[in-house]
Each structure stands twice: as structure tokens, then as C-alpha cells.
């Protein structure tokens, strides 16, 4: 890290991209995992595949800043993020922002591109346009009276002006929050959507979308909750990296069907906070709509917010993640959230003994 870079105790939400032959890493650093007016996003750049970094930009807006999302598209480098509140006891999504790095090396002024109560999750090129998944309603998610969450799909031809993919029905998923997607070699799109309940159930949905029209989505429920989902292709096969529940055979939904839905949601959340987690790699079968666990990345405590790029030789993936100290494997998730977290990188390489879609770390 640059010697002048002062990091907080909590270093977590991040993204990475390869642009113009260089690696770009964006990360949130703050005194705590929870919302803070002192939070900032640091944008770092490396010319030597991550061996050393130079600070390129700092984003501090007097309130929490989260979910940096890079896009290298048509020769341009765009960065998206969202602002939240300043109270650590509340999750208060604000608006989504964008900024672009010009040819002169300067970033332009941040521009707000969404209404309030929006959280950006992923921005990816699909065909000839940019697509963004974002979710709404999260401000009440951890309160006594949560409202139904919705995932919306928006599209843009220039990265700045965004409209719903379907103006009549902006929401493509009811009950979901974080939603990642990737376009398959045959043009279809597969997605993974995290669900906290009670609306839509508890766990995740694995989706196949022949088109982004919500009426064409084919969905299969999974009782596991794939927090912070990140999808990528390895040898044309979709893979997922997400937070894994170590207890309860990986299930988030404990099946407490005799409880009222609101109480059931709180029971699932409490059990999740009190148990250990890992950052895990899965292989996605887009036809069967299944996720098969392959391996855990070095991780413990509070962990799982991944970005990756192809390795310089094109034979693997350089993955960046955050975690509590990786030797603290017994730490429950909430303990990790109260303690320092760090950024780690790991290479994933195809498994020569695998079935063509497996990947090993």
C-alpha cells in the first residue's frame, strides 16, 4: 500500500478492474464496519499486477460510502458507488453516484444518478449497453417493520443516463436484495439474488434469464443465502463467489415455518449473525439452476465482498476479498464486524483434474 495511505480498522467493500493495462482497486475504509461519516473510498492503481499500489483518488462525502463498482467500457473507466447514513445503528441508503476518469488522468465531479433509497449492486456490459442491478427498500430491512425489497434492472447507453429495462415493470425480482448477473457465451444471462425474507422467502434465488424481460426469468430457490454474490465465467462456465454459512449445513432458512413470518425473519438473522462464515467458491449450473460448493477462500469472521480480474497470462483469476484475520476461523460474523478487517488477494487456477468447469485456489 502507499506509505501515505492511512487506513481505518474496517477495510471491506471493494472492487477491482483491469483498464488500460493497469489494475484499479477501490475499497471502503472506515473506523467500523457500520455506517460512519468518516468512511471514504480509496482508489488505488497498480502497474505491476498488484505488487505495489499508488493512490489515485479519495472519495469522502461526509457520510457513509459503499459498494464501489468499476466498469471499463468502450475505452472509458467509470466508478459507481452509493452513499448511506452516518449512524452505525441504522442502514440508510441514499443515492447512487458515478464519476469518470478522463484521458488527462483527472476524475470528474460525482454525479447522482438515482432517486433516494437505492443501493447499486453490479454494473456490467450486456450486448451493446450497460446494465445495472440495484435494490430498494433496504432502509427498513433490519427494523421491526421491514417493507418488501425489490431488485430493479436499469440500462444505459452512455453510463450516465439510466432508465428501467422495462419502464412498465422496473422491478425484475420481488423480495431480493444483492443481485449479480453474468452473460453466458450463448447470450443467455444467469443471476443470483440474495433474499432476507419475509417477502419472497429466505435464502437465495438462482435465475436463468433468456431475456431481461421479467416474464422470461426462470427461478429456483436455494435455502442458502449467497451474501455479496459475485459471478464470473471460467472456461465459459459460470462460477459464484459469496459468503458461506458454516453452521446448519449452510442453510440460512432454518425452516421455522410455525413462526410468524416477521419473527421467522429475525430468528434466521440472529442465527446467521451468531455463527462463523467463509468466502466460498461455487460452480453454477445455469440449466439445473444449482450451485455446487467447490472450495473456501482464505477467510474468517466478517468476510466476502469480492472483485476479480483475469490473471496477466489469462489462465486464471486474481481475486480480491476482505476478511477478518483468516486464522480466526471460529469467530461468528458479528464478532468479525466489531474487529479489524483487511483486504486479501488470491489466485484461482483451473483444476487440471477437474471436469472442465472446476476451479481451485
pLDDT at 212: 72
pLDDT band at 123 (very low <50, low <70, confident <90, very high): very high
CA 10 to mean position of chain CA atoms: 17
248 close to 232: Cβ distance less than 8 angstroms? no
Parent domain of 335: 66-350
Cell numbers describing residue 328: 480466526
Distance CA(344)–CA(257), nearest Å, equals 39
* Burial (Cβ within 10 Å: 0-12, 13-18, ≥19) of residue 38: middle
Domain for residue 28, yes or no?
Answer: no
pLDDT at 58: 96
pLDDT band at 199 (very low <50, low <70, confident <90, very high): confident
Domain for residue 238, yes or no?
Answer: yes
> Which whole number is the average pLDDT over 9-33?
96
Domain for residue 60, yes or no?
Answer: no
- 13 compared with 4, residue with greater pLDDT: 13
Contacts of range 78-81, beta carbons closer than 8 Å, 24 or more positions apart: 78/123, 78/159, 79/26, 79/43, 79/107, 80/113, 80/120, 80/123, 80/132, 81/26, 81/41, 81/120
Q: Is the pLDDT of residue 243 over 60?
A: yes
pLDDT band at 1 (very low <50, low <70, confident <90, very high): confident
| Contacts for 222 with CB less than 8 Å, ≥ 6 apart | 203, 204, 205, 206, 290, 291
* Domain count across the chain: 1
Domain for residue 4, yes or no?
Answer: no
Instruction: Output the pTM of the full model.
Output: 0.94
Q: What would the pLDDT profile of 88-108 be if each residue is shown by its tens digit?
A: 777 888 999 999 999 889 999
**Maximum separation of any 2 CA atoms in the chain, in Å:** 61
Distance CA(92)–CA(141), nearest Å, equals 10
pLDDT band at 143 (very low <50, low <70, confident <90, very high): low
> Which whole number is the average pLDDT over 238-257?
96
Mean pLDDT of the chain: 92
pLDDT band at 111 (very low <50, low <70, confident <90, very high): very high
Distance CA(4)–CA(118), nearest Å, equals 33
pLDDT band at 18 (very low <50, low <70, confident <90, very high): very high
Q: Is the pLDDT of residue 186 over 50?
A: yes
Closest CA to 156 of 181, 124, 186, 179: 124
What CATH number does the domain containing 104 carry? Answer: 2.120.10.10
6 HSE (CA, 13 A, CB side): 3
Domain for residue 229, yes or no?
Answer: yes
Domain for residue 52, yes or no?
Answer: no
pLDDT at 145: 64
Domain for residue 149, yes or no?
Answer: yes
Domain for residue 56, yes or no?
Answer: no
% of the chain exceeding 90 in pLDDT: 77
Amino acid at each position: 500500500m502507499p506509505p501515505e495511505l492511512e487506513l481505518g480498522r474496517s477495510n471491506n467493500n471493494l472492487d477491482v478492474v483491469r483498464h488500460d493495462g493497469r489494475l484499479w482497486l477501490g475499497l471502503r475504509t472506515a473506523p467500523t464496519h457500520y455506517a460512519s461519516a468518516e468512511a471514504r473510498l480509496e482508489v488505488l492503481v497498480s502497474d505491476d499486477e498488484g505488487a505495489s499500489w499508488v493512490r489515485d483518488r479519495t472519495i469522502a462525502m461526509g457520510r457513509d460510502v459503499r459498494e464501489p463498482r468499476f466498469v471499463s467500457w468502450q475505452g472509458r473507466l467509470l466508478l459507481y458507488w452509493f452513499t448511506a447514513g452516518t449512524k452505525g445503528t441504522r442502514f440508510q441508503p441514499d443515492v447512487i453516484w458515478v464519476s469518470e476518469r478522463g484521458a488527462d488522468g483527472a476524475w470528474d465531479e460525482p454525479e447522482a444518478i438515482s432517486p433516494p433509497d437505492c443501493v447499486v449492486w453490479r454494473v456490467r456490459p450486456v450486448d451493446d449497453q450497460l446494465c445495472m442491478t440495484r435494490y430498494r427498500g433496504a432502509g427498513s430491512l433490519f427494523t421491526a417493520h421491514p417493507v418488501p425489497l425489490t431488485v430493479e434492472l436499469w440500462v444505459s447507453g452512455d453510463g450516465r443516463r439510466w432508465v428501467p429495462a422495462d419502464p412498465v415493470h422496473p422491478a425484475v425480482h420481488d423480495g431480493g436484495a444483492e443481485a449479480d448477473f453474468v452473460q453466458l457465451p450463448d447470450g443467455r444471462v444467469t443471476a443470483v439474488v440474495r433474499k432476507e425474507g419475509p417477502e419472497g422467502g429466505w435464502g437465495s434465488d438462482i435465475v436463468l434469464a433468456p431475456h431481461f424481460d421479467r416474464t422470461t426469468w426462470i427461478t429456483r430457490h436455494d435455502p442458502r443465502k449467497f451474501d455479496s454474490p459475485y459471478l464470473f465465467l471460467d472456461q465459459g462456465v459460470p462460477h459464484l463467489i459469496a459468503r458461506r454459512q458454516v453452521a446448519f449445513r449452510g442453510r440460512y432458512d432454518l425452516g421455522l415455518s410455525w413462526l410468524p413470518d416477521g419473527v421467522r425473519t429475525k430468528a434466521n438473522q440472529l442465527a446467521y449473525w451468531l455463527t462463523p462464515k467463509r468466502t466460498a467458491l461455487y460452480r453454477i449450473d445455469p440449466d439445473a439452476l444449482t450451485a455446487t460448493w467447490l472450495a473456501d477462500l482464505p477467510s474468517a469472521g466478517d468476510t466476502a465482498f469480492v472483485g476479480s480480474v483475469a490473471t496477466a497470462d489469462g489462465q486464471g483469476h486474481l481475486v480480491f476479498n476482505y476478511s477478518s484475520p483468516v486464522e480466526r476461523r471460529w469467530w461468528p460474523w458479528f464478532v468479525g464486524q466489531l474487529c479489524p478487517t483487511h483486504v486479501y488477494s488470491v489466485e484461482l487456477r483451473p483444476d487440471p483434474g477437474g471436469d472442465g468447469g472446476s476451479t481451485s485456489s
